[in-house]
Structure 1
C-alpha cells in the first residue's frame, strides 16, 4: 500500500488531485439529468418566429392569462351518449375545480355551460365525449405536477377522464426521454467496462477506464449545462445522451488503444513510469488530432441557426475534455499500477488475423475493377432507392399506457384527427373588435378557413361553434323586413275596403279611423325605409369585396329595392294627405249641413268632389298594395341570394348575453386581440403538414388584404406549427451539418495524410456505407415493426456517432499513410493486414455499445443503434476493397499496359 502511495506521489499526483477537484465540483454543480431535461421539455424559437410572436400576443391578453397554458379535460362514455346524470356529475366535478382554482393555478375554465354558443366545439357529434378547457398558470417545472393532481381530481364515476394537451404530451415524451437517457447511460458505462474487462481479461483495467470516462462525462455535462443556463447556449432533450454516447464510444476505443500499447511496451520496458510515458507519447498525436478535429467540427455546429443542430456544440467541449482525461488521468493510474492493471491476466494478447480483409485485399489487387464493382453492388441499390421519412410528432416514442396520450387519441377518434393538435391564429387590431366593421371581415375569414382544403373546423368570435349564427346575418334581418312589408300589405287592403265603404256612406268617423290607420302605415313605411338603408349599406359593403359580377348584381338589386321603397313611401304619404283632406272637408260639410239648408247645393257639389277624392285615394291605396306585394316578393328573392349571406350585428345584439360571453372567451381584456382555432382533418404529418401550414398562412394574408383588418398583427401557434418549423429548419440546415462534418473530416485527413485522392475515396466509402445503413434500418423497421418513419431526432443522433467513428478510422488510416516509406502498392498489403485487426476490434466495440442503446426500449434509440451497426458493418466489408482497388487503379490506370497485366 505504501509503495502504491509512493508511486502516486511520484507519478502525477498533482494531476490526480486536479481531476478529483474538477470531478467533485462537476458532480456538485451539475443538475439532475431528469430535471435538466424537464427544463428543456418545450421547444424554443427565435423572437421573429410565429410561435414566439403568438406568445407575445398571449402575454398581452389580460385576464391574468398571459403566461397560462391551455389544457383539456376530456370525458368520454364508452357505452354511448353522456346521460343527464353523468352530465350532472361532470358539472359537479368541474364546480369543485372552480372552488379550488387558486390551489390548482387555474385562471379560467370553459365548459359547455359557459360557452353555450360554442357547444359544438366542446361536445362530439355522437354526444359521447365532452371537453372542458382549463387555462393554468404553470411553468414547465410544475406542469407535470399539476397534471398528475388534476387527473385524480376530475374523475367521474362511470366515465373515463383524461387531462391532455400538446404541451402535456411533449412533457410526457420528455419524461420518457429522461428515463431512456438514464437507462442508456448506465448501460453504456456497464457495457464499456465489460468490453474492456473481457478484452484484457482484467479487473483493474475496466475500473480505470470507467473512472476516466465518468470524470470526462460529468465534467462535460456540468460545463454544458452551466453555459446553457448562464449564456443561453442551445441545449435540447437529447444533449445529455449525446454527451454520454460520445464519451463512452470514443473513450472506450481510445482506452483500448492505450492499454494495448502499454502492454506491448511493457513487454520491452518493465518500468511502469517510462512505459507509460512512451505509451502516451506514441498515442498523443493521433488522439490529439482526432479529438481536435471532432472538437472543431462540432464547435462549428454552434453557428447553425437551428437549436436542434446548434446544440451539437456541446460535443466540441466533450471531445476536448475526453481527450484531456484519456491522456492525463489514464497516465496517473498506468504509471502507478504498471502491469498490475492487467491482473489477473498476465499473458500477452494473441493477435487475431482478419481473414476477410486479407482475402479482400488479395482479390482487389488481382482485379481492382471487379472489386470496385462488388462495392457498387453492395451499396448502390440502397443508395439509388434511398428513401426515408421522418416523424416530427412527440407521440412517436410514447405508448398507449399514458393517460395524456390516451386522451389525445380519444379526441382524434370522436372529433377529428387534428382535434388534439389544433392551430391557433392570433389577430391584434389597433382598435377594439366589438363593432360590426371588424366582425364582418373576421366572419368572412373564418368562413374562408372552414372551406380551405384539409380543414375540419374553424372556431372564432363570430362562429364559436364552427357554424354561422343566423340571427347575426342580413338574411335573418331581410326576413324581418319582409314580414313587416307583408303586414303592411294586409293593412292597406283593409284601408282600401274602408275607403270604398266611406265613399258610398261618407261616414266621418270611419274617415277618421282611416286617417289613423294610414298614419300608422306611414310610420311602418318609414321604418322599412330606414331598415332598407342600413341593409343596403351592408350589401354594398359585401359586394365591394366580391367579384365584379356579384358587385353589379348586388348593386342593381339594392337600387331597385330602394326605388320601390321610396315610391311606396311617397304613395302612402299621398294617401295619408288625401284622407286627411277628406276628413277636413267632411267636417266642413257636416257643419254646413247643420247650420244651413241654403248650402244644400254647395254641399251636394262638395259631396261629389269628396267622392271623386275617395276614388282617387282608393286607387292610390290599391297601387301601394301592389307595390308592397312586389317588394315582399323581391325581399324573398334577395333573402335567398348570396348577397344576403352577410354578417351584420346590430348594436342591441352587441350587448346581449350570448355575444358578451363569446367575447369573453375569444377576445382579450382590451378587446383588441382575438383568436381563431383551426382544426385540421388529419393529425400533423411530415408529408402534408408543412404544405398545409403554408396554405393557411397564405389564405389568411390574402383574405385580410384590402380590409380594415389588413394591418393587423397575425401570428400562428400550435403543435402543427411547431412541427412544420422543425421540419422546415431541419430540411434546410441538415445539409449544412453534413457539409461541416464531411469538409471537416476531409480537410483533417488531407493535412494529416498529405494526400487528397486516396483519403477522398475512403471518405466517400464511409458516406456510401452510412446511406446504406440508413436504408437497411428503414427496411428492417418497416418489415419488423411496421414503422414507416424515423423519429426526426434519429438522423442527428446517428450523425453525431458516425462522425466520431469515421474521423477515428479515416484519420488513423491517413496517419499510417503519412508515415510510411513504402510506395502505395507496397503499403496496401501490410497496412490492410494490420489495420484489419484494429478495425475488427473497433467494429465489435461499436456494435456492443450500439446494442446498449436498445435497452431504453425506445424506437428512436433502436433506429439509431441499427444505423450505426449497419454502417460500420458495411464499411468493414467495403473499406479493404476501396483502399486496395483505388490504390491499385491510381498507380496502374495511367499505364494501360500495366492495367492489362493485372499486377
Structure 2
C-alpha cells in the first residue's frame, strides 16, 4: 500500500478534528450574518440607515409586538386588569431587557384606537428593543415571551425579526432532519445498488468528512471575513455534498469493482479507478465548482451566498480523491462484502431503448420532444410568493400572533410601511408641518391604504383643532360676538353724544361770565365800602373824643351829619350782603349743575370708549386671523381649486382685508381723538370743579363776613343814629353810644381788608372759571363732532365684520378649510410635543409616516402599491421646501419589494454568468461547441418544465397557489450545476470509445447503455437526498426538493433522447482523424478495458 494513503487519512483526521473544534455557533451566525440584504441604493436600506440616525429610541432596535387575545370574544374587565399588570411588569423591567420604548393602549386615546381591535378581543403592546450580538433576536424572543405571559389571556410575541428568526430556526431544524434522513436513504440505496451493507458506510464516511469540514470552513470564513452567507447556505452544502458526493462515489466504486472483476489486484485496481473514474469526477466536480463559484459575482446577497457550495465542492473532491484510494487499497474486494463475484457496470435497458429509437429517426425525435417538453417549459410559473411566513409552521407562536393581528386588525397592522423624509432643515415649523399633513391626507386617500399616521395626525385621524375649519368656526363665532359688541358700544356712544348735545354748556358759560361780573362788582363795592367805613370809623372816633369834651355848635353839626350818614352806611352794608348772597347762590348753582352733567357724560364716554376699543381690537384681531387663516388655506389647499380660482379668491380677500383694515384704522383714530378730548374735558372739568370748590369756600367766607357786618351794623348804626337824634339832652349817652359805635366801627373796619381780599379772590376765581368753561365748551363741540364720526365708523365696522363673517362661513364649507394650520407657539405645546417626539427625530430634520396597508405586507398586491405611494410622495413634495428631501420606504413591504426587484434583476444576470461558466467547462470536457449548447438547452428545458410541474402540484399537495420567491433560483442552481454531471458522465463515457473504429451512433448508443445505470442510480440518490428536505416543513425547501426531483426525472428522459439524436445529426460519419488524435491523447485507457468494451 502506498504510504501517502496513510498520510491522507492522518491529515483528514486532523482536519476534521480542527473543524469540529473551531466551528462557530451556526444559529448565532445565521442570526447575525445570515439575513438577506440589498444594496445601499435601495429604498429599504436607505430607510434602515435613516432609522439609525433617529436616536436612541430607534437606533439599533427591533420592533416587536406583544399580542393579547381572547379569541373572538371581547376581553373581560378581569382580563384587561391582568393585561395592565403585565404591561406594568414589562415597564418595570425596561432597563433589564433593554426596552428602548413602548407604546400601550393605556397611554392615550390615540394609542387605544390603534392598539385595541374594534371587537375588543385583541390588544397590542408595541416595543422597541435593542438588538446586538450579545442581545440576539433569540434572546429577545425568549425573554419578552416569558415576561409577557398573562394569566387567562392568550399571549403571543411577533414581529418581522422574530418571524425571520423562527424561519432561521426552522431551517436549522430542517438541516438536522435532512442530514439524518439523507444518510439513511443513501445507505439503503447504496445497499441495493452494490448489494452490500459495507459499501454505503465508506461513501457516507467520506461524504460526512467533506460535509463537516466544508461547513466549518465556510462558517469560519463568514465569521472572520464576512463570506457570503444565508439561511440556506448550510442546508444546501449538506444536500449538494451528499447528493453529488454519493454520485461520484458510485462512479468511483463502479470503476474499482470493474477493475476487480477484470482480475486486477486491489492496488492496481485502485490506481486505475482513480485515474479513469477520478478524471470524470474531476471534470464533473469542476463544472459544478465553476457554476457555483461564478455566483460570487451576483449582486444579491442571497444569490451570492450559494458560493459557499463551491467551497464544499472543493473539499468534497479533495476528500473523495484522497480518502477513497485508502479504503480501496486497504479493503479491496471486502468493500463490497458479502459479494464475491464481481461484474462490470450493468447495462441500462431503458436508456439503450430510448437512445436507439432516437437515433433511428433523430429529426422526428427532436420534433416530438420539442412538442412535448418545450410548451411545458414555456408555461407560466405563476406569481411568486414573497411572504416568508409561509416558511414557518402554523404551530409557531410568532406566526399565530401575526395571524391574530391580521384577523382582528388590518393585515398590515403588525408590519406597517414606514416612509422616512429627511430634510436639510428643521421640520418643526408651520410650513413644513402643513406639507407633511397634506402628504398624509393624500396617502390616506390612496387605494389599498388603511391608515396613515404622522406628526400632524398621530392617531391616523385629523386633530380637528389644528385645521382651518375648526379654527374658522372660532373666528366666525368671535366675529359675531365682536359685531354685537360693536353695535352695543356704538349705541352707547350715540346715547352719550345725545346727552352731551342736550347739555346747555353755552348757558353755563354765560352764567359763569355773569357771576364773574357780579363778583367784580362786589369786589369793587367792598373796596368802596372799606373806604367809607374807614372814614366813618375815623369820624366816629373823633366825634367821640369831641363829645366827651363839649358839644359846640360845630360838633352839633357834625353829629347831625353823622346821624344822617349812619342809616346810609347801614343800608349800603345790607345791600352788599344781599348782593353777595344772590350772586354766590344763583350763579354757582347753575354752573355746578352743568359741570356735574358734563362730568357724568365724560365718565360714560370714557367707559364706552374702553369697551369699544377692546371690541374693535378684538374684531380687528379676529378679522385679521380669519383672513390670514383663509389666505393660508387657499395658498396651501390646492387640490380642489384651480390656479385662477385661487388668484381671484386671494385678490378678493386682500381687498376685503385692506378695506377692513383701513376702516378699523380710521375708527381707531377717531376713538383715539375722542379719548383725548374726553381726557382733556375731564381735566378741564376737574380744574373748573376745583376752582369752583375754592370759589365756593371763599364766597362762603365772604358771605359769612358780610352777614356778620350787616348784623352788627343793623344793631349799632340804628342805635347810634337814635342816640344822635337826642344829642342835645343826652350828651353823656351820646358819648357812651359813640364809644360803642366807635368800637364797633373799629371792629368792622379791621375786618374789611379780609372782606375785600375775599371779594377779590371770588371775582378772580369766577373769571377763571368762566374762561375754563368757555374752553371746555369748545372741546365738547369738537368731541361731539368726533363722536359722530366714530359712531359712523363703528357702523361701517359692524357692517364689514358681518360681511367678512358671511364670507368666512362660506369659506369654512369649502375644501380649503381642510388645511392644517398650527400657530408657532403651539408647536412645542404638551400634546403636540408628544407627537413630535414620536414622529420626528431629536434634531427635527427627519420625520416618518406610518402607513398601514389593507393587503398582506408581503403580498404582490401590497408591493404593487409602493410605486404608486412613492409617486404620491414625490408629487406632493415637488416644488415645495421639501422638494430636495430624501425619501425612503421602510418596513416589511418595502424590504420585500426591494428583494423582489433585486432578485428579479439579478436572477437574469446570475443565470447568464452561471451558464457561461458551465458552457466553458463543457467545452473543455466535450471538446465541442454544439454539445455544450445542446446540453445547456436540455438543462434549461428540464429546469423550466420542473417549475411548471411544481406550480401545478403545490395547490393539491402543499395547499398554496404560488411558488416561493427563492424557489426558481435555487432550483436553477441545483439542477443546472448537478444535472450537468449526468451529461458529463454520458459524454465522458462516449469519449472513452472515440479511439475505437465504428460509427458515432454506435459509440453513442454504447455510452448511453453503459452509463444509464450510473445516471439513473445517481438520479435516484440525488432525488432521495433532496426528498429529505420535505420533512423540514420549510416551504421553500419542499418546493425546491420537488422541483429538483422532477427536473432529474426530466433530465433522465431527455438526455438519452436528445443527445443521441443530436449526435446522429451532427456526426453522421465516423469520428474524424482530429477527433481520433484528440481521443488518443485525452483517454489513455488500458487495453484490457478497451477489449472488454
Q: TM-score, normalised by structure 1?
A: 0.91
Residue 983 (structure 2) aligns with: 810
Contact 2:65/2:414 (<8 A) preserved: no
Distance change (3 Å), C-alpha of 1:11 and 1:495: closer
CA deviation profile, 1:577-603 (whole Å, cap 9, x unmatched): 575478579878999999899999999
Residue 484 (structure 2) aligns with: 490
SS in structure 1 at match of 2:388: coil
Distance change (3 Å), C-alpha of 1:877 and 1:398: same
1:75 aligns with 2:68: yes
Residue 97 (structure 2) aligns with: 104
Distance change (3 Å), C-alpha of 1:712 and 1:613: closer
Deviates more, 1:639-648 or 1:532-541: 532-541
Bigger CA radius of gyration: 2
1:832 aligns with 2:1008: yes
| From 53, 57, 60, the counterpart of 2:50 | 57
Deviation at 1:849, TM superposition (A): 2.1
Aligned counterparts, 1:628-667, within 5 A: 628-667=801-840
Partners in 2 of 1:547 and 1:19 — Cα distance? 81
Partners in 1 of 2:902 and 2:788 — Cα distance? 85
Residue 114 (structure 1) aligns with: 107
Partners in 1 of 2:149 and 2:328 — Cα distance? 62
Partners in 1 of 2:981 and 2:279 — Cα distance? 12
Greater length-normalized contact order (CA 8 Å, ≥ 6 residues apart): 2
Partners in 2 of 1:99 and 1:313 — Cα distance? 47
| From 650, 661, 685, the counterpart of 1:555 | 650
Residue 844 (structure 2) aligns with: 671
Deviation at 1:184, TM superposition (A): 0.6
Deviation at 1:353, TM superposition (A): 4.4
Contact 1:449/1:696 (<8 A) preserved: yes
SS in structure 2 at match of 1:283: helix
Partners in 2 of 1:647 and 1:436 — Cα distance? 9
Residue 855 (structure 2) aligns with: 682
Partners in 2 of 1:370 and 1:39 — Cα distance? 56
1:407 aligns with 2:401: yes
Residue 324 (structure 1) aligns with: 318
Deviates more, 1:100-109 or 1:177-186: 100-109
Aligned counterparts, 1:515-534, within 5 A: 515-528=609-622, 530-532=624-626, 534=628
Deviates more, 1:369-378 or 1:610-619: 610-619
Residue 443 (structure 1) aligns with: 437
SS in structure 1 at match of 2:350: helix
SS in structure 2 at match of 1:98: helix
Deviation at 1:874, TM superposition (A): 2.0
1:39 aligns with 2:32: yes
Partners in 1 of 2:344 and 2:261 — Cα distance? 13
1:134 aligns with 2:127: yes
Deviation at 1:412, TM superposition (A): 1.4
Residue 461 (structure 1) aligns with: 455
Deviation at 1:177, TM superposition (A): 0.8
SS in structure 1 at match of 2:391: coil
Partners in 1 of 2:934 and 2:114 — Cα distance? 61
Give the total of aligned pairs.
886
Deviates more, 1:271-280 or 1:435-444: 435-444
| From 66, 77, 82, the counterpart of 1:89 | 82
Contact 1:119/1:465 (<8 A) preserved: no
Distance change (3 Å), C-alpha of 1:759 and 1:65: closer
Residue 390 (structure 1) aligns with: 384
Partners in 1 of 2:72 and 2:253 — Cα distance? 67
Deviation at 1:479, TM superposition (A): 2.3
Contact 2:950/2:1043 (<8 A) preserved: yes
Residue 737 (structure 2) aligns with: none
| From 1027, 1046, 1055, the counterpart of 1:870 | 1046
CA deviation profile, 1:254-304 (whole Å, cap 9, x unmatched): 111111111111123352122111111111211111112221221111011
Deviates more, 1:94-103 or 1:782-791: 782-791
CA deviation profile, 1:216-273 (whole Å, cap 9, x unmatched): 1111111111212222121001001111111111110111111111111112335212
SS in structure 1 at match of 2:299: coil
Distance change (3 Å), C-alpha of 1:807 and 1:79: closer
Deviation at 1:557, TM superposition (A): 4.3
Residue 13 (structure 1) aligns with: 6
Aligned counterparts, 1:253-652, within 5 A: 253-348=247-342, 352-506=346-500, 508=601, 509-528=603-622, 530-532=624-626, 534-535=628-629, 538-539=632-633, 541-542=635-636, 548-549=643-644, 551-573=646-668, 576-577=671-672, 579-580=674-675, 583=678, 617-652=790-825
Distance change (3 Å), C-alpha of 1:113 and 1:429: farther
Contact 1:68/1:136 (<8 A) preserved: yes
SS in structure 2 at match of 1:237: coil
Deviation at 1:636, TM superposition (A): 1.2
1:888 aligns with 2:1064: yes
SS in structure 2 at match of 1:424: strand
1:28 aligns with 2:122: no
Deviation at 1:571, TM superposition (A): 4.9
Partners in 2 of 1:564 and 1:126 — Cα distance? 56
Residue 156 (structure 2) aligns with: 162
Partners in 2 of 1:832 and 1:364 — Cα distance? 12
Partners in 2 of 1:835 and 1:602 — Cα distance? 135
SS in structure 2 at match of 1:130: strand
SS in structure 2 at match of 1:163: strand
Extract unaligned runs of 5+ from structure 2.
501-599, 693-765, 1070-1093
Distance change (3 Å), C-alpha of 1:722 and 1:614: closer
Deviates more, 1:855-864 or 1:276-285: 855-864
Distance change (3 Å), C-alpha of 1:607 and 1:30: closer
Residue 184 (structure 1) aligns with: 178
Partners in 1 of 2:780 and 2:1012 — Cα distance? 133
Deviates more, 1:382-391 or 1:485-494: 382-391
1:794 aligns with 2:967: yes
Residue 235 (structure 1) aligns with: 229
Contact 1:392/1:686 (<8 A) preserved: yes
Contact 2:83/2:150 (<8 A) preserved: yes
Partners in 1 of 2:933 and 2:636 — Cα distance? 67
Aligned counterparts, 1:711-750, within 5 A: 711-750=884-923
Distance change (3 Å), C-alpha of 1:553 and 1:194: farther
Deviates more, 1:687-696 or 1:627-636: 687-696
Deviation at 1:689, TM superposition (A): 4.2
SS in structure 2 at match of 1:832: helix
Deviation at 1:729, TM superposition (A): 1.2
SS in structure 2 at match of 1:683: coil
Deviation at 1:568, TM superposition (A): 4.0
CA deviation profile, 1:785-840 (whole Å, cap 9, x unmatched): 33111122322332232123322111222223434143323323323322333332
Backbone CA RMSD of aligned residues:
3.1
1:775 aligns with 2:775: no
Partners in 1 of 2:667 and 2:477 — Cα distance? 18
Deviation at 1:526, TM superposition (A): 4.0
Contact 1:37/1:237 (<8 A) preserved: yes
Q: TM-score, normalised by structure 2?
A: 0.76
Deviation at 1:719, TM superposition (A): 1.0
SS in structure 1 at match of 2:617: helix
Contact 2:68/2:122 (<8 A) preserved: yes
Contact 1:390/1:686 (<8 A) preserved: no
SS in structure 1 at match of 2:200: helix
